[in-house]
C-alpha cells in the first residue's frame, strides 16, 4: 500500500515545484517590465539584463540616463553615477570563470569595484553607442551620449 502511494506523491511534489518555478519566473519578468516602464521617460537606453554577482545571475531592468545607470528589480534598486565610472568595457566573457551562453558582457569599474551585466545579443551595440568603452588610462570621461 505504501509503495503504491510513493510514486504519485513524488510526481505531485515535482509538479508543484515546476509550477512554483514557472510562476516565479513569470512574475520576475513582469517585475522587470514594470521597472523598465518606470524609467522609460528619462532613458537613453533601457532593457532587461542579467546582473552578475559571483556565480549568481540576477534579472534586472537596466536603464541608462544622461547621469546614471540604474539596475533594478523587486529586491534591488541600485544606481551608478556615470561621473564615478573609471572604466567601461564590452566583452564576450565574464571576468569570473563562468561560461557566457548568449549576449555580451558590459563591465564597469568604479573605485576598484567591478560590475558586470549580460546584455541581450543585438542590443549591445546600442549600449556601446550611448556608453562608449573607456579605459582609466585613456583621456576623456565616461558619459551617456
pLDDT at position 42 is 84
Task: For residue 54, give the C-alpha cell.
Answer: 559571483
Which pLDDT score, from 0 to 100, does residue 100 have?
61
**In this structure, are strands 68-73 and 113-119 parallel, antiparallel, or unpaired?**
unpaired
Instruction: Give the pLDDT confidence score for residue 96 in this predicted structure.
Output: 73
Domains and CATH numbers, the chain: 2-130 (2.30.29.30)
Torsion of CA 11, 14, 16, 19, to 10 degrees: -120
The confidence score (pLDDT) of residue 46 equals: 94
Q: Over its length of 145 residues, how does the chain's per-residue pLDDT go in tens digits?
A: 556 777 777 877 787 667 655 555 555 556 888 889 988 888 999 999 999 988 888 999 999 999 999 999 988 999 999 999 999 999 888 887 666 667 899 999 999 999 999 998 888 889 999 998 877 766 555 555 5
What pLDDT score does 134 carry?
A: 75
* Centroid of chain to Cα 34: 15
Residue 72's contacts (CB-CB under 8 Å, 6 or more residues apart) are 35, 39, 60, 61, 63, 78
pLDDT at 19: 65
Amino acid at each position: 500500500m505504501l509503495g503504491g502511494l510513493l510514486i504519485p506523491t513524488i510526481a505531485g511534489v515535482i509538479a508543484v515545484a515546476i509550477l512554483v518555478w514557472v510562476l516565479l519566473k513569470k512574475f520576475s519578468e513582469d517585475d522587470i517590465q514594470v521597472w523598465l516602464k518606470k524609467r522609460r521617460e528619462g532613458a537613453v537606453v533601457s532593457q532587461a539584463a542579467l546582473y552578475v554577482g559571483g556565480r549568481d545571475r540576477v534579472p534586472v531592468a537596466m536603464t541608462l540616463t544622461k547621469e546614471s545607470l540604474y539596475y533594478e528589480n523587486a529586491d534591488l534598486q541600485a544606481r551608478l553615477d556615470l561621473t564615478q565610472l573609471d572604466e567601461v568595457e564590452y566583452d564576450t566573457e565574464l571576468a569570473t570563470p563562468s561560461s557566457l551562453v548568449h549576449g555580451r558582457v558590459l563591465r564597469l569599474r568604479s573605485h576598484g569595484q567591478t560590475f558586470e551585466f549580460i546584455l541581450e545579443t543585438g542590443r549591445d551595440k546600442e549600449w556601446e553607442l550611448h556608453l562608449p568603452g573607456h579605459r582609466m588610462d585613456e583621456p576623456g570621461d565616461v558619459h551617456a551620449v
